Structure 1
Amino acid sequence: MDRHTKKSEEILETARKLFFKSGYTSITMDDISKSLGMSKKTLYKYYKGKHELLLVVVENWKTRLSQSVQEIFTDPETPYAVKLRELLTLTGTSLADVSAVFMMDIQENVPEVWNDVTRYKREAAFLRFRRLIEEGQKKGLVLPTVNKDLVVALYASAINNLLDPVFWRVLPIDVQSGIPENPSEIFDQAVNVIYEGILSAEAKKEYEELKG
């Protein structure tokens, strides 16, 4: 990787973190340049403006997630139970990284990007998860009584809501206090609930044996 490419990726990663956490409109090129420790003049040599940077950030995020998901899907050596767990965890943590603040912001101010991200989440993540459930049911590894569409809806709801502060505020204080503070732990528990609920006894046994 040459120096220019390395610096470009550093810019994308910094911008991604800022956009996904705080939204698009509230972040300026000045904020990004300061976070990088570079001048705005140098930053503009790589990207013409914030909108271009947003488009590249989103496209780069989609590409990386798609590549990771595809690796899980196409690995013939990975047992189904492990494949399902890896897909749930990878997709959940990656999509949760895209905050509700960011999504609401781009829905209002950059609707074409919001449409792109929403379509991607639906097609690349949720529909692939649905196909994996179908595969498991055909192999007898997912319970035949499981409604695959409802499971996908529950999973999507968990991803969209569990890290949303607006969602937390509607819950009783006693419930809020019992929820882990670490986002990765929250999703690990959510994945466990879905995972344990849909697998057949055979698949659960296989997974436990693999865990050793």
Structure 2
Amino acid sequence: MKTKRVFIVSGGEYVGGRDGIAALRERIVEAAGGLFLSRGFIRVTADEMAAEVGISKATLYRVFRSKEEILRAVVRGLMAEIGGRVDALIRDENLGFVERLARLVAFVGGRISRFGPLFIRDLQKAAPAVWKEVEAFRREKLLANFKTILAAGHKQGLFRGDIDLDLLLEMFLRLVEAFVNPAEVLRSGRPPAETFESVIKVFFQGILTDRGRRDFAARTPALFEPRKEDES
């Protein structure tokens, strides 16, 4: 007969096996994520996170060792969600190139819109190790998938033939790093998603062929409007 292990987390406040502990971790991460994204990391207290979940601060710190550990779990969860969705879009052979990239831009833009400027600033300022994980994810995961998409579009004649893909990718990354970063977001006062859309629009208008611009305009008119000379 197997003996079920039982965990009493804090003064009898929470009782459960390993599955129960995992469920509590998920609840803490979800609650903390909502607070961090809207108010930043620095201003949110352990008491507020505990109250949001309905547990004591002592219980919170028995499940997570520190506030930064909670932040790391939140950020890794967001990166896993974004990475999983991006991978699925890349692999979806039922979508054409234009539709695939349009959905990718819409998805990433939507996720970025959840990141308040204080959250981005606090990541860089108060949790540099976690911020490095974000930068590594942006470069290694998203950039690799972006290269796959660009190569497909290049093969279909939607991008100008004189474009060097590796240089293009580096330029795109530099644009994102320059404008979708804590200092610039706070300086400009623009939401990160709006800045991301502007970068996308300027970037792609410069590398698309006339046919590519027309195809993208049909799918995402707000981002890929044909230039005036194309309409004459």
TM-score under structure 2 length normalisation: 0.66
AA of the residue aligned to 1:64: E
- Structure 1 stretches of 5 or more lacking a match? 169-178
Cα distance in structure 2, aligned partners of 1:157 and 1:109: 20
Residue among 37, 41, 54 paired with 1:20: 37
Classify the secondary structure of the residue corresponding to 2:181: helix
Retained in 2: the 8 A contact 1:141–1:200? yes
The root-mean-square deviation of aligned C-alpha atoms, in Å, is 3.4
Classify the secondary structure of the residue corresponding to 2:43: coil
Shift of 1:82: 1.2
Retained in 1: the 8 A contact 2:29–2:70? yes
AA of the residue aligned to 1:107: Q
Task: Compare relative contact order (CA 8 Å, sep 6+) and give the higher one, 1 or 2.
Answer: 1
Equivalent runs, 1:175-194 vs 2, <5 Å = 188=197, 191-194=200-203
Q: Deviations over 1:135-162 (max 9, x none)?
A: 3223212223456243443344443379
Equivalent in the alignment of 1:150: 171
Retained in 1: the 8 A contact 2:117–2:192? no
Equivalent in the alignment of 2:47: 30
Cα distance in structure 1, aligned partners of 2:86 and 2:55: 34
Identify if the C-alpha distance between structure 1 residues 210 and 20 changes in structure 2 by more than 3 Å, giving closer, same or farther: closer
Residue among 119, 126, 129 paired with 1:109: 126
Identify if the C-alpha distance between structure 1 residues 14 and 198 changes in structure 2 by more than 3 Å, giving closer, same or farther: farther
Identify if the C-alpha distance between structure 1 residues 70 and 81 changes in structure 2 by more than 3 Å, giving closer, same or farther: same
Q: Does 1:79 align with 2:96?
A: yes
AA of the residue aligned to 1:101: L
Classify the secondary structure of the residue corresponding to 1:24: coil
Structure with the largest fraction of helix: 1
More divergent stretch after superposition (90-99 vs 116-125)? 90-99
- Structure 2 stretches of 5 or more lacking a match? 1-18, 221-232
Q: Which has the larger radius of gyration?
A: 2
Equivalent in the alignment of 1:61: 78
Retained in 2: the 8 A contact 1:84–1:132? yes
Cα distance in structure 1, aligned partners of 2:36 and 2:215: 41
